Structure 1
Amino acid sequence: MFLSKLTVDQRSRAFLRDVADVHDMHRTIMSAYPELPPTATFRSQHGVLWRLDTVAGGGLVQYVQSQTAPDWERLPAGLLLRPAEVRSLQPVLNAIAPGRKFTFRLMANPTRDVRVENGKQQRKRVPLQQPAQQIEWLISKGEQHGFVIPSSRQGAPDVAANPAPRLVGKKREVRRVTVDPVRFDGHLMVTDSSAFTAALINGIGRAKAYGCGLLSLAPARAS
């Protein structure tokens, strides 16, 4: 497993194109990985997840996780302010154990199913707008993926949910892509090593091709 840190030039022509259409951003990232036969699922076969983070001073860093080693020399000229930084995720994977506590960040796409009143009994997914609903969504994902959110000293779940800029684009010129990401920052505790490792490798939730699902871990801070 590999984790890449890309320091993006927000003024570059390539980034301005990609930020206007998240599907273009997805294609730019995937250009760093070898082509696969048409029958393969390109992103999932390479295990690619990514996230845009704002850093001090207003800069942007794009984190990309993958099972295949990337070749960032394939990116458009001028997209990066400095060479890509790539490291192995094996030390993180080795640290996963039941009862282990981590500081985490997750950009996710919390949604729920609603019935569409059009006489066809159809359902569609809509974003969860309230932080309490978003945190409840994350807690339910923890039950599925082998972790729990511990309580803070105040007794509430030790996590903050903050909205991120909406991602929009078009897929195949006809299907509109709209994603309302939420950034979760807090602490978690591993309950099932196998399920949690799978979640770390494969991502959590929907819109994984569009900047959601990447779970980043660090040693737990003192609370």
Structure 2
Amino acid sequence: MMYLSRLRPSLRSRDYRRDLADVQHMHRTLMSVFPEVVSGGSARQENGLLWRLDRTDSGHVLLVQSALEPNWGDLPSDYLAVPAETREMDSVFSAITPGRTLHFRCTANPTRVVRDPNDPKADRGRRVALHDEKSRLGWIARKGEQNGFVIPATSDGAMAVDVTPLPPKIGYKSSSAGRNKITVSAAQYDGRLVVTDADAFVEAVRSGLGRAKAYGCGLISLAPAVSA
């Protein structure tokens, strides 16, 4: 079972404004509504937590996907402007069938690994963010190949997806070495996809696309594609 929650945070809430400025704080706040994990594994993965913040004309919308039903009553009393809405995702998964065309949105952290042949650690390389539109389109195309979907072409031959650069997501994480800054380069993908492998794509929707999943990246929203 998977759940999708729709939250409308209140900008009057001091706790929410703190979370808005620091993705590590946001991650901790969202994790606080789930049971503590004692298995020793990743708490985010155990709870299946993915989230995305959308900014709309009427305010902020926080989408939270999870494998367990969250207890939003554990949030600070003034955190939400209206009560949270939570529903099961059965209808989302039933729509994922081979050949089905769907509208999608995903905020992601497109990256690639760069290897220096003169670096003794070249077998590992270093991961760098992708900033130009061409490389970001290539990234979503590769993710499709790996996760059971393709981006179709428009009438003029372009990929049927818009890529919108987003401001960097900033946060701070404490460790034994001190306070480390988190910077996530994000982009929003809005477009159409065609399911090629239903099982692989279902897993992608469950687990998210790409990196920085704890920091508001990876969640895939789907909607039926309306015929022209």
Is the TM value for this pair above 0.5? yes
* Structure 1 residues 114-134: Cα deviation after superposition (integer angstroms, max 9, x where no partner): 246995545321111111110
Structure 1 CA distance for aligned equivalents of residues 12 and 198 of structure 2:
42
Q: Residues 70-219 of structure 1: matches in 2 within 5 Å?
A: 70-115=70-115, 120-121=120-121, 123-172=125-174, 173-219=178-224
For 1:31, the aligned partner's letter is S
SS in 1 for 2:25: helix
Distance 1:153 1:46, change over 3 A: same
Structure 2 CA distance for aligned equivalents of residues 37 and 83 of structure 1:
30
Structure 1 CA distance for aligned equivalents of residues 186 and 100 of structure 2:
27
SS in 2 for 1:174: strand
Decide which moves more: 107-116 or 194-203.
Answer: 107-116
SS in 2 for 1:26: helix
Q: Which residue of 2 aligns with 1:33?
A: 34
RMSD: 1.6
Structure 2 CA distance for aligned equivalents of residues 109 and 89 of structure 1:
24
Gaps of 5+ in 2: none
Displacement of 1:189: 0.4
* Structure 1 residues 183-215: Cα deviation after superposition (integer angstroms, max 9, x where no partner): 000000000011000000000100000000000
Structure 2 CA distance for aligned equivalents of residues 17 and 31 of structure 1:
15
Gaps of 5+ in 1: none
For 2:142, the aligned partner's letter is S
Structure 1 CA distance for aligned equivalents of residues 24 and 100 of structure 2:
36
* Structure 1 residues 122-168: Cα deviation after superposition (integer angstroms, max 9, x where no partner): 53211111111101100000000000000111210000000112111
Displacement of 1:179: 0.3
SS in 1 for 2:8: strand
Structure 2 CA distance for aligned equivalents of residues 96 and 10 of structure 1:
36
Structure 1 CA distance for aligned equivalents of residues 66 and 48 of structure 2:
5
Structure 1 CA distance for aligned equivalents of residues 138 and 87 of structure 2:
33
Displacement of 1:32: 0.8
Structure 2 CA distance for aligned equivalents of residues 54 and 221 of structure 1:
24
* Structure 1 residues 82-132: Cα deviation after superposition (integer angstroms, max 9, x where no partner): 000011100111111100010000010001122469955453211111111
Corresponding position: 1:16 with 2:17: yes
Structure 1 CA distance for aligned equivalents of residues 208 and 82 of structure 2:
27
Distance 1:23 1:118, change over 3 A: farther
Q: Percent identity?
A: 47
Structure 2 CA distance for aligned equivalents of residues 156 and 67 of structure 1:
36
For 1:205, the aligned partner's letter is G
SS in 2 for 1:80: coil
Provide TM-score, normalisation by structure 2: 0.93
Displacement of 1:221: 2.9
SS in 2 for 1:141: helix
